[in-house]
Amino acid sequence: MKDIFKLIRVPQWIKNFFVFIPLVYSRNLFHTDYLIKSLTAFFIFCLLSSVVYVINDIIDAEADRHHPLKKMRPIASGKISNANGITIAIILLALGLLLSIYTNSMFKIFAVLYLVINIFYSFKLKHLVLLDIFSIAAGFMIRVTAGALIISVEISSWLILTTMFLSLFLAVMKRRSELVVVGDEQSSTRKVLEFYSTNFIDQMATIAAASVIISYALYTVSLRTVTVFQTEHLIYTTPFVVFGIFRYMYLVINHNKGENTTEIMVTDISMIMNILLYSLTTIVIVYKLF
């Protein structure tokens, strides 16, 4: 069972919390029906993302065996066979389809789109320079959009842009970490790394990081945001976003972390406290709990 949990990447499910962004910012967090729909979306994306992880591990098994960390994955290490991996993926997909019965048609379309893009990524896109990064970012964008569609609410364009730049930032930093970790083995672990350099990636990371901060700051003071929330106080959450970006860059550049985004989010005390304070402050301001 432990190997199955590692195969389906349960800790990585934290990325699917992006589906709750529309719920929170549409002021429906305490609306039971909306919350149940968002939870349904969350679990569907957890199942679909695990399907993708299994497929990706089967495809990358040989390359993973040359990676200092990925060689311990269940498929690469031989603890779970390809056949059993495929069986697990089919079961997860079936569960996802079963849950999707309770969702609307537009959500289903984006859920399928997420699955298709990520499977295509596993086979082809991850080998294409820049498109690999944008493919990863697309997964986060789809989560947010699907989260809005399942509860039938609109989402601010600035918030969408913030999500896009944040996902690009995380994808770029992931590539940077991989580039540093694998070193001379990059051609045997991930071929696309041959086309990147730390200098180029650092420039992209700087642009993406700046775009996240600017987009979010503009979102907090936009006319639509102030009108909907009836307050200008959301701008006071911006320092948490800036700190989070800087802290993440510090951990990746100075401590060679970032290949596993989830690990940083759940193990770094400063990052955990920052996320909790940001979440609490945002909820207090948006829902006027003061």
pLDDT digits (tens, 9 = 90+) for 192-232: 888 888 899 999 999 999 999 999 999 999 999 999 999 99
What pLDDT is stored for residue 264 in this prediction? 83
Q: Are 111 and 233 part of one and the same domain?
A: no
Q: Are 162 and 196 part of one and the same domain?
A: yes
- Residue with more model confidence, 259 or 167: 167
Instruction: Find the domain containing 205 and state its range.
Output: 156-290
Q: Are 186 and 111 part of one and the same domain?
A: no
156-162, long-range: CB < 8 A, 24+ apart: 156/25, 156/219, 156/222, 156/224, 156/225, 158/215, 158/216, 158/218, 158/219, 158/222, 158/225, 159/21, 159/25, 159/219, 161/211, 161/215, 161/219, 162/212, 162/215, 162/216, 162/219
Q: Are 7 and 142 part of one and the same domain?
A: yes
**What are the residues whose beta carbons fall under 8 Å from the beta carbon of 34, sequence distance 6 or more?**
23, 26, 28, 151
Q: Are 103 and 218 part of one and the same domain?
A: no
Question: What is d(CA 77, CA 45) in angstroms, rounded to the nearest whole number?
Answer: 26
pLDDT digits (tens, 9 = 90+) for 3-49: 889 999 998 899 999 999 999 999 999 999 999 999 999 999 999 99
Boundary (domain end) residue, out of 98, 123, 154: 154
Domain count, the chain: 2
Listed in sequence order, the DSSP H helices in the chain are: 2-7, 21-25, 32-59, 61-64, 74-77, 82-100, 105-123, 131-150, 157-182, 186-189, 198-221, 223-229, 238-255, 261-267, 269-286
Q: Are 113 and 224 part of one and the same domain?
A: no
Boundary (domain end) residue, out of 106, 137, 154: 154
Q: Are 74 and 3 part of one and the same domain?
A: yes
Residue in this structure with the two tokens 């040359």, named with its chain if needed: 66
Residue 233 identity (one-letter amino acid): H
* In contact, 150 and 107? CB cutoff 8 Å: yes
Question: What is d(CA 192, CA 241) in angstroms, rounded to the nearest whole number?
Answer: 30
Q: Are 1 and 51 part of one and the same domain?
A: yes
Which CATH number goes with the domain that contains 18?
1.10.357.140
Question: What is d(CA 275, CA 265) in angstroms, rounded to the nearest whole number?
Answer: 9
Residue 150: exposed, middle, or buried by beta-carbon count in 10 A (0-12, 13-18, 19+)? buried
**What are the residues whose beta carbons fall under 8 Å from the beta carbon of 252, sequence distance 6 or more?**
173, 176, 177, 258
Residue 77: exposed, middle, or buried by beta-carbon count in 10 A (0-12, 13-18, 19+)? middle
Q: Are 249 and 128 part of one and the same domain?
A: no
Q: Are 8 and 144 part of one and the same domain?
A: yes
Boundary (domain end) residue, out of 92, 119, 154: 154
Q: Are 225 and 243 part of one and the same domain?
A: yes
**What are the residues whose beta carbons fall under 8 Å from the beta carbon of 195, sequence distance 6 or more?**
129
Question: What is d(CA 253, CA 282) in angstroms, rounded to the nearest whole number?
Answer: 29
Q: Are 124 and 167 part of one and the same domain?
A: no
| Confidence band for 182, pLDDT divided at 50, 70 and 90 | low
- Does the pLDDT value for residue 279 go beyond 90? yes
Residue in this structure with the two tokens 């990863």, named with its chain if needed: 136
Q: What is the pTM of this model?
A: 0.91
What pLDDT is stored for residue 61 in this prediction? 85
